[in-house]
Structure 1
Amino acid sequence: MHVSVSARGLRSLLLCITKVSRRVAQFTSVCNVSTFRSFHLNSLRCQKSSLTMEQAANDSGTPAGVNTPVSVEETATKDATETGKRKNDEPDEAEKSGRGKRRRGAGGKKLRPGERYVPPPQKRNPGVSFSQEHFDETSYYFESGLRKVYPYYFDFKTYCKGRWIGKTLLDVFNSEFRAESIEYYQMAAKEGRIKLNETPVEDLSVVLRNNDHMRNTVHRHEPPVVGRPLEVLVDDGEVLVVDKPASIPVHPCGRFRHNTVIFILGKERGISELHTVHRLDRLTSGVLLFARTLEKSKQLDQLVRDRQLEKEYVCRVDGEFPEGELICEEPILVVSFKIGLCRVDPKGKECRTVFQRLSFNGKTSVVRCLPLTGRTHQIRVHLQYLGFPIVNDPIYGASAWGPHRGKGGHIGKSDEELLQALVQEHQNLHLLDITDDCTGVGQEAKKKIKISEKMDKSGRTAEPDESGESCQTQVDKKFDCTETTNINTKNASLTESQNPLSTNSNGNQTEAADSTRKTPQGTQDHLCSECKLVRPDPTEKELIMYLHALRYKGPDFEYSTSLPDWAKEDWVDAE
């Protein structure tokens, strides 16, 4: 019996050694030395424990394969005695796996020599609203019937776009941000105005990588708008309705920030956190609705989607419009979403607009317009197609469309040729609602700037809105950004309270009758090209298009304004 037990123990020992050898071979290929040692010691403990248990079984006369009850205390005492270690002495999980704690900053990845660390992108808060901090960036002053903004410093920010990856900052500035020369960007970098991942960049030859965050500090100038005050028609706590003057964008876009309806309401009336229900073209005037609460915004949005919001516009067009009711159902195609240019085309989306002549003064006609669908520039495109473009429409009334100005859809040139012709016709590009650099002639047009010219180096795209109109969303070539944040501003010492104002016959706030626009004292920047220019102030024809949103009606509400002066029967064109 003694010999039988010894043979069994020998077999168990040989079997255990064989298993240990196999597992050692596996672990040595994937584990480091410390892991192997830990595993080897545990295996030996298992072997010793197995032999001890078999010996105890032999001494007690109990077969080795039979389970015997063992208390927890006995097990713990036994393990401590056999291993000679406390529980706290066991290697932790990181030591067993051969991995230490992940390094902060680089995500656990070791950077190669000369490699830049790119932080992960920050989460954006889409619900951020403009606050007093933004409104205090600069102030207004009024001159020659125009509302003007003191120049101020501003940060344009953007993450590296996919098409920029692998390119240098110099390449990106040269190909996409052509509002300024390469020499300007090089000087701006030396002064710390260009930052990459919040670190000033002095050498523009740095290669961009995915998730790079860029910041460009600029000396910002905004174009002037008409000085007529914003009239609040309704403010009941749920809905805010204003009579928007022509030339003022609804919300910040492109070169416009403080000269917008949103900022004027915030700066002059302390109204913020508004929800946009619909939008109007910058050059269009009239009824503009905002929701005060999110619940009301959703309710009005549903009315728009269900086409339960009835809209009525009035405009003045060239020529004698036919009497009676005229319906235009020509489909409208967006030539370029980025540029916001449209035309009638069989491939376009279905549209329906009802027109009715109200008066004719021998030269122009006042027309009532009811857009039953909501396409971009719907009223303007349909009237152009009918041969009666809106007076002062810088796009659809331009001679670039040909001798008949697009009547009947006859253009006689490609979309690219049309866009080139529009830019060449209007050197003052900010009136066009198109982007100069998108046409490939932006740099050439910029070279033609002279002290006395009214050249503007920015452009806009048009965002469609359910009313058939759109908001000019400029693409500012300082940075094609999706997010903007202000920095400390350096405003003029003059404030609004220091500017005694009067009101002219058109209702515009005015100061001095100076017909030129130059940078006010105390706000000049030595790198800013705008500060070196003196521009003539825009004329009324350049700021006001004769299209007005007269009435908006829903199931249980109706908001309207009075007719603008140019829509009255006794109105006479000053020209």
Structure 2
Amino acid sequence: MTTPFDPARQQASTVCLPPGVWATVLDCLCDHFKGISREQWLDRFARGRVLDAQGQAIVAELPYRRGMRLHYFREVANEKVIPVQEEILHIDEHLVVADKPHFLPVTPTGEYVEHTLLRRLIRRLDNPHLVPLHRIDRHTAGLVLFSANPHSRSAYQRLFPERRIDKHYQAIAAALPERAFPLVHRSRLVHGEPFFRMHEVEGADNSETHACVLEKNGELWRYGLSPVTGKTHQLRVHMAALGAGICNDPFYPQLLNEQDDYAKPLKLLAQSLRFEDPLTGEMRYFESRLKLDW
């Protein structure tokens, strides 16, 4: 007997059916998502993984209607297992704080759906309302803050765009004895080629990082990094621009076409978060239990 699928345990993607001349919803979805086979869609319909706007499972033969709003659940066939384990550091009515290991994505993306921090925590805590309040790269380890309550979510979400939260990272990279620390690095970051890599260009600054030296160990130094802005890969690009790409970085300063090597993680850690709680006014401080070794 097939176990009923409970959509409340996962987060659905949403699509509004575009204009066209399809006979059924299935025909439209097959044309719209060419990377997903007709057989995969039929299997999803059969398992109740395509829902209408009210969250009810629909059949593949449902007549097409322009603008129809549907929910579906992303799946990756034979998804690769990521052999790392997250740790939950804090839980309350409003927040969950987790320590994310290297290589684990925060949210479903590309070839990763079930093996993501978000999906793992939803299953562990039995809370389908979890939403990450910020993101860190798949290659980066450390703290990720989640909203656990839709009613208070917006208050915590505003902390990040309004820059009312202090984020501190550690990185291990080549020594920079020719530079004076602490320093501030500002630049304009834009998406480059391939699309997932960022690079610095001329123009008004849109990124800012404060850097200091925490420890020296021969040709390698441990740096303290505090991003004022939150651009994609900001710390990785800025360290490479300073002349000290972070150890084991597969993207910067050069793109390396290598598979994940769990013995050589990126030496970047989201080490601490500090903020005034928008609901209570108390100061909150969270610190990662993970460490960067030399």
TM-score, scaled relative to structure 2: 0.73
1:552 pairs with 2:279: no
Bigger RCO (CA 8 Å, 6+ sep): 1
Structure 1 equivalent of residue 185 of structure 2: 328
Aligned residues of 1:326 and 1:354 also touching (Cα < 8 A): yes
Structure 2 equivalent of residue 540 of structure 1: 262
Structure 2 equivalent of residue 22 of structure 1: none
- 1:173: Cα distance to partner? 7.9
Aligned residues of 1:166 and 1:209 also touching (Cα < 8 A): no
Q: Could you tell me which of 373, 381, 396 is aligned with 2:237?
A: 381
Secondary structure of the residue aligned to 1:226 is coil
Distance 1:308 1:175 in 2: 41
- 1:309: Cα distance to partner? 0.6
Aligned residues of 1:291 and 1:297 also touching (Cα < 8 A): yes
Structure 2 equivalent of residue 426 of structure 1: 257
Q: How many residues align?
A: 264
Secondary structure of the residue aligned to 1:305 is coil
One-letter amino acid matched to 2:269: H
- 1:255: Cα distance to partner? 2.3
1:366 pairs with 2:222: yes
Structure 2 equivalent of residue 393 of structure 1: 249
- 1:268: Cα distance to partner? 3.0
Q: Could you tell me which of 286, 295, 312 is aligned with 2:142?
A: 286
Aligned residues of 2:99 and 2:290 also touching (Cα < 8 A): no
One-letter amino acid matched to 2:84: G
Structure 2 equivalent of residue 247 of structure 1: 103
Call closer, same or farther: CA 1:351–1:259 in 2, change over 3 Å. Answer: same
Call closer, same or farther: CA 1:173–1:559 in 2, change over 3 Å. Answer: same
Call closer, same or farther: CA 1:563–1:266 in 2, change over 3 Å. Answer: closer
Rg comparison, structure with higher value: 1
1:270 pairs with 2:101: no
Distance 1:254 1:159 in 2: 21
- Mind listing any 5+ residue stretches in structure 2 that lack a counterpart? 1-5, 51-58, 277-282
Aligned residues of 1:333 and 1:348 also touching (Cα < 8 A): no
Structure holding more helix per residue: 1
- 1:159: Cα distance to partner? 5.3
Q: Quote the RMSD (CA, aligned, Å).
A: 4.0
Call closer, same or farther: CA 1:238–1:342 in 2, change over 3 Å. Answer: same
Call closer, same or farther: CA 1:360–1:306 in 2, change over 3 Å. Answer: same
Distance 1:306 1:217 in 2: 32
Secondary structure of the residue aligned to 1:383 is helix
Q: What's the CA shift string for 1:223-242, capped at 9, x where partnerless?
A: 222323x2222223222111
- 1:563: Cα distance to partner? 5.2
Q: What's the CA shift string for 1:232-287, capped at 9, x where partnerless?
A: 22223222111111111222223222211222223234344223211111111111
Structure holding more strand per residue: 2
1:227 pairs with 2:84: yes
Structure 1 equivalent of residue 158 of structure 2: 302
- Mind listing any 5+ residue stretches in structure 1 that lack a counterpart? 1-128, 136-154, 201-207, 399-421, 429-537
Secondary structure of the residue aligned to 1:366 is strand
One-letter amino acid matched to 1:198: A
Q: What's the CA shift string for 1:271-314, capped at 9, x where partnerless?
A: 44223211111111111111222343222222223211111011
Structure 1 equivalent of residue 288 of structure 2: 561
Q: What's the CA shift string for 1:390-409, capped at 9, x where partnerless?
A: 112211232xxxxxxxxxxx
Distance 2:237 2:165 in 1: 21
Distance 1:166 1:268 in 2: 43
- 1:341: Cα distance to partner? 2.5
Distance 1:193 1:276 in 2: 30
- 1:554: Cα distance to partner? 1.0
Distance 1:219 1:266 in 2: 18
Call closer, same or farther: CA 1:388–1:256 in 2, change over 3 Å. Answer: same
Call closer, same or farther: CA 1:272–1:330 in 2, change over 3 Å. Answer: same
Distance 1:357 1:315 in 2: 10
TM-score, scaled relative to structure 1: 0.40
